[in-house]
Amino acid sequence: MTLTTDQNLDPEKLSPTGRRMLELRDEVLSEWVKRVRQTIKEAERLPHPALINTFPFLYDNLAEAITPDYPRTPGDESNTVATEHGGERARLTNYNVHSVVSEYQILRWSIFDVLKSNDVQLDDNEVFLINASIDVSIREAVNAFALAQAALRERFVAALTHDLRNPLSNAHIAAQLIEQSSDLAKIKEFAGHIVANLKRMDGMIQDLLDSARFQNGERLPLRLEEFDMQELAKEVCTQFSVMHGARFQLIAQTARGWWDREAIKRAIENLIGNALKYGTPDTPIRIKIDSLHERVILTVHNEGEPIPQEQAESIFQVFRRAGTAKEGSKEGWGIGLPYVRSVAESHGGSIGVDSSAHRGTTFMIDIPADARPYQHAPTLEGNRKSS
């Protein structure tokens, strides 16, 4: 099984060294987790699914990157894995930029040390490609981390000024009325309005200060319940098959977890609908579900025109669509993918995309198997900036 972001199902497409890397994935990631917890203070108590994050994707992409003639060089080419990792670290952890950089540096040496201890010899070009891929990932993750922190600070300031304006205005009006009145009963009434609005402001400030610990992000209101995502995906595929025929291939095993069933269902429907709209007609649409490290990864793959890399982030913004979609005859408001992002982030996870002419387009929802601990995690919906 591979976890590459292009949904490569056949490890035989990889070089012998790439296949050995896949075989050693769990050992490498376990070593990485151990070293990160020992080295990075902010990671000491971070729950495992939040810590591991998108690194399984990155690792398997590296196995593709070192494979001669495989259409991926470097490992972060045409995907948003590092960007999503940086964004999640800003939203869900107390990391700083140094912590983000250190994670990737530790991954580099975990890979080299575990491969060496298992007698896997890397040639100079393979070492170069792994180093180059990790270096580019560091740059993208740090950039996303900085943008996310800036967006969250902007949201905090906007919320503070907007929410305080009404009670402040009400208190100001009541004070003006006191100046104009000689009726003691009315003055007492207006004074009561002032006190009430000041108390309201005080409570709001306290709430905002508390929320600042979570960077004051917003999330969807979720109704969490335990269910099997495989069964839900079957239900959605059956629903679409009635209208569109047997184009849908579901590759999944039981994946039980705590999520909002209706929100996840709508997210899957949006991704499949997107694949139908923009994919090549009459080609298969593949839905795949993987479970590992207490996370569940749902991917939807279609063949067709790729999403330009410079537009890979903007398609997740409200009312924004890829240039190829806008230039064509496809109708849409550009709110489906932003909704999927808000669902993923509200569950403590993220959404990413991998798209190229050679590999097709794959959208990935990557969330913890149990979303209950992440109910107060902030999201960046509505605050994304164009790349």
* Residue 356 pLDDT > 60: yes
Q: How much of the chain exceeds pLDDT 90, in percent?
A: 56
CA geometry: angle 64, 93, 76, nearest 5 deg: 15
Contact assessment for residue 361 and residue 324, using Cβ atoms and an 8 Å cutoff: no
Predicted confidence (pLDDT) at residue 329 exceeds the cutoff of 80: no
Q: Which amino acid is at 17?
A: T
pLDDT of residue 183: 86
Q: Return the pLDDT at 215.
A: 38
Question: What is residue 221's predicted lDDT score, i.e. its pLDDT?
Answer: 75
* Model confidence at 323: pLDDT above 60: no
At which residue do the structure tokens 């006190």 appear? 195
The pLDDT, as a whole number, for residue 184 is 87
Share of the chain above pLDDT 70, in %: 83
Neighbours of 121 (CB within 10 A): 9
**CA distances, 315 to each of 55, 134, 338, 342 (Å):** 23, 25, 8, 13
Which residues are CB-neighbours of 259 under 8 A, at least 6 positions away? 222, 224, 225, 227, 229, 347, 367, 371
251, β-bridge pairs: 288
Kindly report, residue by residue over 61-96, the tens digit of the pLDDT.
999 999 998 988 777 777 899 999 999 998 888 899
Q: Which residue has the tokens 């550009």?
A: 334
Name which of 82-86, 339-343, 348-352 the model is least confident about. 339-343
pLDDT interval class at 163 (50, 70, 90):
low
Mean pLDDT confidence for 366-377: 87
- Asked if residue 152 has pLDDT above 80, the reply is no
Residue 298, pLDDT score: 97
Span 120-135, average pLDDT: 96
**Letter for the amino acid at 61?**
N
What per-residue confidence (pLDDT) applies to 377?
A: 66
pLDDT level of residue 159 (50, 70, 90 thresholds)? low
Instruction: Give me the sign of the Cα torsion angle 52, 76, 218, 221.
Output: negative
Helix H segments across the chain?
16-23, 25-39, 48-52, 55-65, 81-92, 97-117, 124-180, 184-211, 229-244, 261-278, 323-327, 336-346
**Cα distance between residue 115 and residue 118, in whole Å:** 5
Task: Name the token pair of 247.
Answer: 């184009």
Confidence label for 256 from pLDDT (cuts 50, 70 and 90): very high
CA dist 41 and 39 (Å) reads 6
pLDDT of residue 151: 80
Cα 48 to chain centroid distance, Å, stands at: 16
Whether residue 330 has pLDDT greater than 70:
no
pLDDT at res. 275: 94
CB contact at 8 A, 22 and 10: no
**Preceding amide of 74 cis, omega within 30:** yes
Query: Where is average pLDDT lowest: 32-46, 135-149, 205-219, 345-359?
Result: 205-219
* pLDDT (average), residues 333-362: 84
Please, which pLDDT band fits residue 341 given cuts at 50, 70 and 90? confident
